[in-house]
Amino acid sequence: MANERVLLSPAIDDFFRRAGLASQDQLDCYSLIEQLFPGIPLSPSPCQGYCSMTVFVGEDIVIQFRPTIYKLDLEVTTAARKVYGSFAPATRYIATIPTSGLLVYSMDRIHGVSFNEFRKHLKKDCCSHSRKTICRDFAAFLARGWYHNNDCSIPKGHVGRSIISRLESLTKELPVRFRSVARSVLEQLQRINALPWVLTHGDITPSNIMVNPLNGRLLGFVDWAEAELIPFGVSLYGLEELLGEMTPAGFQYDQDASALRDIFWSELSKQIPDLRQKQTLEAVKLARDLGVLLWHGIAFDNGAIDRVVEEGRDVEEICRLDAFLEFEKLPPISRASRI
């Protein structure tokens, strides 16, 4: 019976409340899974997204339910699979539940554990082979976008079409200490736009990074819902999440962060020899700053991404800006050695 397969998860209950749906709508989801996969064990994903309910069916299948407002762009998810291979899950539309209007998708499961879970049990010494492996693999992942940018013919997305207006807002509305960085990026935006525009994962956070728990190899990324074409280097904001974590005192880098950062940049330059050219590398570093500003300078308000973050209201994003842009205060030579 469908009732016997109800999953106990506060995060799932929260999703249905946010979506304005009833308990019967949740039961309808389980009934559909029962029809499609009779008798196969179910389990909730340990990382539930804000905009969806995600369920594991057996060992290899993921079923996701999403309100229409958060529907997946299958052209984008197909492109992600083409560009990044197994780093992105194959995604298919299955059905729409008539009573709730929830869209139902099936995905190939990316195994492993989230980096969030992985780092809880990881020794944080500078000799950690696993941490070095993750940084090198992340560089190799990004390089695929550089070399396969011509394989992706999707149009620019919401963020890509509005970079100038967003930067203009950031230069005026960010806390004062960040505005000079935003102005510098805006003034040099032409250099960033001249980089390859690549399909970029829209939410590189520890919960979306999947790794092998035994050796730290990067297995892939989940939640490509916000992916779109953006200049190469913008997604480098995600590197910071591999080098530190949010604490009650703010975002704190691990003691081996500088060494790991060097390993990442060495591998990225090895994967993309063009980065050995000074002008190209400088443009990618500017794109990195753009990514930090766009992903942490713009607030996420129930799916909307149109408000500049505010001191006292968006505490964690302000902490990340303080940490991720701190190197901007250093002299150029010192900054180069840190990156």
We report the CATH number of the domain holding residue 32 as 3.30.200
CB 241 within 8 A of CB 205: yes
229 and 120 together in one domain? yes
One domain, residues 11 and 126: no
Q: How confident is the model at residue 285, as a pLDDT? A: 96
Is residue 144 domain-shared with residue 283, that is, in the same domain? yes
My answer on whether 177 and 323 are in the same domain is yes
Domain boundary among 57, 77, 108: 108
Over the stretch 137-192, which tens digit does the pLDDT of each residue have? 999 999 999 998 777 788 899 999 999 999 999 999 999 999 999 999 999 999 99
pLDDT in tens, 189-203: 999 999 999 999 999
Domain end residue (candidates: 108, 134, 168): 108
Considering its fold, how many domains does the chain have in total?
2
pLDDT band at 123 (very low <50, low <70, confident <90, very high): low
| Confidence class for position 4, pLDDT limits 50, 70, 90 | low
Same domain for 270 and 302: yes
Q: State whether 242 and 256 are in the same domain.
A: yes
Among residues 108, 133, 154, the one where a domain terminates is: 108
Asked whether residue 227 falls in the same domain as residue 318, the answer is yes
CA pair distance 332, 314, nearest whole angstrom: 30
* CATH classification at residue 247: 3.90.1200
Which range of residues forms the domain containing residue 15?
2-108
Residues 99, 221 share a domain: no
Q: What is the pLDDT of residues 278-292, one digit of tens each?
A: 999 999 999 999 999
- One domain for residues 22 and 125: no
Categorize the per-residue pLDDT at 304 as very low, low, confident or very high, splitting at 50, 70 and 90. confident
Are 298 and 331 members of one domain?
Answer: yes
Residue 314: exposure state from Cβ atoms within 10 A (0-12, 13-18, ≥19): buried
Q: Are residues 143 and 58 in the same domain?
A: no
Same domain, 41 and 100: yes
